[in-house]
A and B are shown apart, each in its own frame.
Chain A
Amino acid sequence: MRKAWFVLLLCLLAVMPALAQDTTETPLDVSDADLEPWTCPEGFEGQTLSVFNWSTYVAEDTISNFEELCGVTVIYDVYESNEAMLARLRQGNPGYDILVPTDYVVEIMIQEELIQPIDLSKIPNFRHVAENLIDTPYDPGNQYSVPYQWGTLGIGYNQTVVGYELKSWKDLFEYEGPVAWLEDPRAMIDIGLMMLGEQPPATDPEMVFAARDALLENGGNVVAIAQDDGQALLERGDVHATIEYSGDIFQIMDSCECDDFVYVIPEEGANLWTDNLVIASGAPNPELAHVFIDYILDPRVSADIANYTAYGSPNQTAIDLGYIDEELLNNPAIYPSEEISERLYFSAILPPEVDQAYADAWDEVKILLRR
């Protein structure tokens, strides 16, 4: 019996290298030379694709190039918030093929059957997607979504006013000037957990309430809890630092033409968000939608988008082959060091009683912070 096991093990060991070779064939082996420009499959001429994306979220020629390459017409609508997009879709799909929801919204849309499964075999360029952004907790196995762009939830601050570097959540909490937090129970309680040296999310209500107390202890400098507009408070000088999404801080860095504003991914770790390409339920043209997703995941197309919007690109090949602008690639606020990357985490699905504890604890934080 023992001998049989041993033989089996030997066989396995013999086969292993072959298996390993098979799987490593993907991203890193692609070289610039054998990366052909993207071509459209035959047979879509004259068809129409309807895309509903965030505003200012593609490069200037991303859509027109696709129209030209495939000979199709793209109807391109934009939205400003997940909630606005969800509200439109919940009333019945008005005819959209492609949507770009944020991670937790993908999960909601799967549960509410607002999106349909994706056939990854029709998307050869999926192999370019970075490993840490596939098979995520909100869509295990990428059955419904592929990542489009990503970013983090960190600290935006005015370095001229603050006068020194804020590197961590601890630095933010110990800063003596006015700061803003974010109206988001999940994000905030998770930050409390990181202050305690725990890895988010909490696994039981006790952990949540400990995080609540950590926030309360450190909330002396909080003057406002912003509804995702902390960047406006920061820009006008009403707070010196704020907890915000990377993209929102990049916006004011761009518009102010000054060196005042800085975005930093805190050392303790941060929430990693993704926006994702999905196909709506009842999409008029799911076949062309698959083609479009494959087009977007082409390393050159992906890089164009990331270079234009300055968000993180999920396209590992585009990064490896140097298609992403050097300046962006060297910005640790967009592409953090490996050490910090390891401390980024997705918002995972919570068991109901923990989810409830997050909501309750956050109400209590707000009530007790009043004075």
Chain B
Amino acid sequence: MAFNRSFGTAAYTIRQKKSGGLLALPAVLWLVLFFLLPLAIVFFVSFMSRGPRGTIVFPLTLEHYNRIFDIFFPVIVDSVRIALVTTVICLLVGYPLAFFISTRKSRRAQQIALFLVILPFWTNFLVRTYAWRVLLGGDGPVNNLLLSLGLIETPLTLLNTEFAVLVGLVYGFLPFMVLPIYASIERFDFRLVEAAYDLGANDWHAFWRVVFPLTLPGVVAGCILVLIPSIGAFVTPDLLGGTEGLMIGNLIQTQFRGTGNWPLGSALSVVMMAMVSLGLIVYMRFGGQN
């Protein structure tokens, strides 16, 4: 019986491996065709020259990379900084929110709360960002409220600032922070907190030494999901940031529009991807182990 069973398992495993490979084929093909191949093209184009009327021509050149480090670098640094601040704010707001939702006793209350978090996705992102333009405008509701409360005397300049970009990014990406954290807190076994209390931990210690480390995978997933799209954001800074809130995504976007410069746009994308990947690798090698 024991023999049969282990034999059966082995056979099953082999079969599983084979069919697993076959099952993965569509996904692999998809990734190669629509991810790796385009990526390779972008990488290649980034070394080409810009021809007349924005065409892509030989010879190969490093000119675009030189130009990025001469001219574009401060914008890249600023974009990373804005994305980091966005991520931190999302974490500070999102963690307590996820905690609140996942600790509701009634399953129904949890579902409703989650539904509310996802609800904004039902409206197009562009429309919601335009709405912020109205809200933050000089004659918008925010300024009018502050004025009527007598808190300010002249309208504040909220729109076309870095502040507006942060508001838009935090607003847009908060659900991406809340959902993975919710998932990991929801799986968390709260008897461990009781055990911590029994061993003499206070609230603070129970949270930092027990709850937080065990929900860290959700936090990391959330941070990555917010940070990476924030760095490359272009709709939000375009509509809300004005000249002050310019991000690298805007500059990449304009290289591809009209008589743009595709090789330069590609090189900018490659530099961005390299920086993000490098950050993730460093994190996984050093930060991830703790």
Chain A residues with a Cβ under 8 A of chain B: 108, 111, 178, 183, 219, 222-225, 227, 236-238, 352, 355-356, 359-360, 363-364, 366-367, 369-371
Contacts and interface: CB of A to CB of B under 8 A. Distances in A.
B166 to A, nearest CB: 15
A237 B259 contact: no
A225 B71 CA distance: 19
B243 interface: yes
Contacts of B72: 363, 367
B8 interface: no
A225 B139 contact: no
Given A111-B53, A237-B137, A224 B71 contact: no
Contact of A366 (B52, B157, B246, B260): B246
Contacts of B78: 370
B141 to A, nearest CB: 12
A238 B137 contact: yes
A111 B53 CA distance: 10
A355 B260 CA distance: 10
A355 B259 contact: yes
Nearest to B130: A232
Given A238-B138, A356-B261, 11 more contacts: A236-B134, A236-B139, A352-B51, A352-B52, A359-B260, A363-B72, A366-B251, A367-B71, A367-B75, A367-B246, A369-B246
B244 interface: yes
Contact of A363 (B51, B53, B242, B251): B251
A370 B75 contact: yes
Contacts of A371: 244
Given A237-B138, A237-B139, A355-B52, A363 B71 contact: yes
B160 A223 contact: yes
15 contacts: A178-B160, A222-B243, A223-B160, A223-B243, A225-B243, A236-B139, A238-B138, A238-B159, A238-B160, A355-B53, A356-B261, A367-B72, A370-B78, A370-B243, A371-B244
Contacts of A111: 53
A356 B53 contact: no
B159 to A, nearest CB: 5
A222 B72 CA distance: 20
B264 to A, nearest CB: 8
B238 interface: yes
Interface string B212-238: 000000000000000000000000001
Contacts of A225: 242-243
A355 B54 CA distance: 9
Interface of B: 50-53, 67, 71-72, 74-75, 78, 133-134, 137-140, 157, 159-160, 238, 242-244, 246, 250-251, 254, 259-261
A223 B163 CA distance: 13
A236 B134 CA distance: 8
Contacts, number: 67
Given A367-B71, A367-B75, A224 B242 contact: yes
A364 B133 CA distance: 26
Contacts of A360: 67
B52 A367 contact: no
Given A359-B259, A367-B74, A223 B244 contact: yes
Contact of B50 (A222, A236, A356): A356
Contacts of B251: 363, 366-367
Contact of A364 (B71, B246, B254): B71
A330 B134 CA distance: 36
Contacts of A223: 157, 160, 242-244
Contacts of A178: 157, 160
A303 B39 CA distance: 53
Contacts of A224: 160, 242-243
A187 to B, nearest CB: 11
B154 to A, nearest CB: 12
A208 to B, nearest CB: 14
A356 B263 CA distance: 12
A262 B251 CA distance: 31
A236 B260 CA distance: 30
Nearest to B246: A370
B243 A359 contact: no
Nearest to A82: B258
Contacts of B246: 366-367, 369-370
A370 B160 CA distance: 11
Given A227-B238, A236-B139, A352-B52, A369 B259 contact: no
A371 B162 CA distance: 11
Contacts of B160: 178, 223-224, 238
The 9 A-B residue pairs with the shortest CB-CB distance in the complex, in nearest-first order: A224-B242, A352-B52, A223-B160, A223-B242, A369-B243, A237-B139, A224-B160, A237-B138, A236-B137
A236 B131 CA distance: 13
Contacts of A359: 259-261
Contacts of A356: 50, 261
A328 to B, nearest CB: 31
Nearest to A112: B53
Contacts of B50: 356
Contact of A183 (B138, B140, B159, B254): B254
Contacts of A364: 71
Contacts of B238: 227
Most B CB within 10 A of own CB, among A108, A352, A369, A370: A370
B127 to A, nearest CB: 14
A227 B160 CA distance: 14
Contacts of B243: 219, 222-225, 366, 369-370
Nearest to B70: A364
B52 A370 contact: no
